[in-house]
Chain A
Amino acid sequence: DVKVTQSSRYLVKRTGEKVFLECVQDMDHENMFWYRQDPGLGLRLIYFSYDVKMKEKGDIPEGYSVSREKKERFSLILESASTNQTSMYLCASSTSGPRSGNTIYFGEGSWLTVV
């Protein structure tokens, strides 16, 4: 079974802190994604990566950056956390693009509260 592991399930951070959300997948997938999920807004794509050291902006990249130094690991960074970044963050991975018919595998999510 594919496993996407998000290191932190629940975090509480202070405004202005730098926050790292870590994600690891164990199936040698090329693509990795970070989404955030908010009530009434559904899932919105923050960033994705299709290869090591490669990244592409999604729909809402402002206030976030990402790092992919190794194929299995994709980190989401909040440079200076703000209260409007309180949300559930979902990491995901896939073998290749969904246009090819590949499905996306999700982690369990990280609940971030910024106070």
Chain B
Amino acid sequence: SQQGEEDPQALSIQEGENATMNCSYKTSINNLQWYRQNSGRGLVHLILIRSNEREKHSGRLRVTLDTSKKSSSLLITASRAADTASYFCATDVGYSTLTFGKGTMLLVSP
């Protein structure tokens, strides 16, 4: 069952611009994670935010979490062509597993 849903499905921007992706989920969580996937490759963990946190930063990444709205956003500042990838949010539905959304495809043009 799909817990997280990313929005938009696809995003196209120019280098140097900021990219914002959103994730909505349905049930209560302990934490929410964001992953990145380059075309045809495995997923790589980017950042985790716990349910008692509202904002977290890691380099050019900024994640926010609003548990009252059951939503999160991932902001990538000063995007680069190398940021071109799919981005997934994931939530801990059961104790042992993560449930992933369908992802946002980000294209950053030089």
The answer to whether A and B assemble together is yes
The chain A residues found within 8 Å of chain B, CB to CB, are 4, 31, 33, 35, 40-43, 45, 48, 50, 56, 58-59, 88, 90, 92, 96-99, 101, 103-109, 111
Return chain A residues, CB-CB under 8 Å to B42. 4, 90, 92, 106-109
A50 to B102, CA, bound (A): 25
A99 to B31, CA, bound (A): 7
Return chain B residues, CB-CB under 8 Å to A96. 96
Give me the 4 closest cross-chain CB pairs, A-B, nearest first. Answer: A106-B42, A42-B102, A43-B100, A103-B45
A45 and B33 contact, Cβ closer than 8 Å, known pairs A97-B92, A103-B45? no
Report B37-56 CB contacts with A as 1/0, cut-off 8 Å.
00011111100101000000
Question: Are A42 and B101 in contact, with the CB atoms below 8 A?
Answer: yes
What is the interface residue range for chain B against chain A? Answer: 20 to 34
Q: How far is the CB of A45 from chain B (nearest CB, A)?
A: 6
Of A56, A97, A108, most buried by chain B (CB within 10 Å of CB) is: A97
Question: Are A101 and B99 in contact, with the CB atoms below 8 A?
Answer: no
Is B25 in the interface zone, CB < 8 Å from A?
A: no
A50 to B41, CA, bound (A): 24
Question: Are B40 and A99 in contact, with the CB atoms below 8 A?
Answer: no
Contacts A31-B96, A97-B97, A104-B98 supplied; 7 other A-B pairs, CB < 8 Å = A90-B43, A92-B43, A97-B94, A98-B98, A101-B31, A107-B42, A108-B41
Report B6-45 CB contacts with A as 1/0, cut-off 8 Å.
0000000000000000000000001101000000111111
Contact for A45 among B45, B48, B92, B99, CB less than 8 A: B99
A4 to B50, CA, bound (A): 25
Closest Cβ neighbor of B29 among chain A residues: A99
Of B30, B45, B98, B99, most buried by chain A (CB within 10 Å of CB) is: B98
Return chain A residues, CB-CB under 8 Å to B50. 101
Of A48, A90, A92, A99, most buried by chain B (CB within 10 Å of CB) is: A99
Of B43, B45, B48, most buried by chain A (CB within 10 Å of CB) is: B43
Question: Are A42 and B88 in contact, with the CB atoms below 8 A?
Answer: yes
